[in-house]
Amino acid sequence: MSAAVVTGAGAALPTTIDQDAVWDGFFAGHYAGLRAARRIFSSSGVRRRHAVANPLDEDLSTWGTGARMQRYVQEALPLGKQAVAGALDAAGLAPGDVGLFAVATCTGYATPGLDIRLANDLGMPAGLQRLLVGHMGCYAAIPGLAAVADFVTARSRPAVLLCCELTSLHVQPAQADLEQVVAHALFSDAAAAVVVQPGARRGRRVAGIVARTDASTADHMTWDVTDLGFRMGLSPRVPDVLSRHVGDVVDELLTGVGLRSEDVAGWAVHPGGPRILDVVRDELGLAETQLAASRRVLAEHGNCSSATVLLVLDELGDVDGPVVAMAFGPGLTLYAAVLLPA
């Protein structure tokens, strides 16, 4: 059976907004009287991020969910198309070569979905297999990668994974709720895609996947569908739960491929926030420089939910050696993948 190798990546980012400007121009009024809000924004680790709905230009906080979903389709299609086309071009493939197209998203839904609409628009074959990875949250890229890698290995056909998240469509009405402030300080919009091919001699081979869910902490991170969009619940205890599990997950992942932590050349850690990265660094005994790519993505792009870890992988560039990718989300769930040189 052929190895599944990541051979191309592409991304698309909407309008860039400055963190200080969006605080001064919108959220300072949104959270007037909530003294901690300014400190949360300034300590988020985010300098710039991206939004299809810029709060400085339009306030969606009173929009109904139906209107937000219509806007999602309108905005996601061109971003998704750009990201997938870029990934296919980087891999040297045509749309007609693709056997499976998987889309991960937790910020918008429609039927026919992005998978059908984009496949048709890009010229993918009529017999294309499709998969929607829905509402898993920030870690969805890793199980999505596992699914497409399994397809590539079993079918010896190329596959594409697209992660497209538009969190700016879910700005919430003003409330004295610090969890909402944290979410509004961190989250951002992006589309990112990867191509996985069978037996390629260049790229990164998907060598192992490990998952861990601590169901006893399910209330620590939530993403609820409401009449006014999707609402984030985000407990400050999330980093503490992560600290209990991340070491065991990485040990299991690396042991499965005969590696140790010191063998890893690149760490693509989902930057859920500064404290998340601090916990991973401390629990794994990493140097701060080993998280530089994750810190840069957080600073320049914010937390783009499922698309973020793919942006970090791209930020790492062509590091020489094994790469570990990790992401975290509702459940609480940790997912990790190890990619080896092809």
Active site positions, annotated: 138
What's the gap between Cα 309 and its chain centre? 5
How far apart are the C-alpha atoms of 146 and 325, rounded to whole Å? 12
First to last CA, the chain: 15
Report yes or no: 253 and 336 within 8 Å, Cβ to Cβ: yes
Residue with tokens 């889309």: 103
How far apart are the C-alpha atoms of 138 and 304, rounded to whole Å? 8
Report yes or no: 277 and 44 within 8 Å, Cβ to Cβ: no
Q: Which string of DSSP letters, residue by residue, matches 81-128? A: HHHHHHHHHHHT--GGG-SEEEEEESS---SS-HHHHHHHHHT--TT-
How far apart are the C-alpha atoms of 285 and 292, rounded to whole Å? 15
- Rounded to 5 degrees, what are φ and ψ at 71? -65, -35
Q: What angle do CA 254, 300, 273 make, to 5 degrees?
A: 55
Q: Please enumerate in sequence order all residues whose Cβ is within 8 A of that of 59, keeping only pairs 6 or more positions apart, or say none.
A: 26, 171
Reference 115, options 155, 169, 163, 147; nearest CA is 163
How many residues does the structure list for the chain? Answer: 342
* Residue 192: CA count within 13 A, CB half-sphere: 25
Report yes or no: 190 and 102 within 8 Å, Cβ to Cβ: no
Residue with tokens 């429609």: 110
How far apart are the C-alpha atoms of 83 and 165, rounded to whole Å? 12
- Rounded to 5 degrees, what are φ and ψ at 136? -85, -25
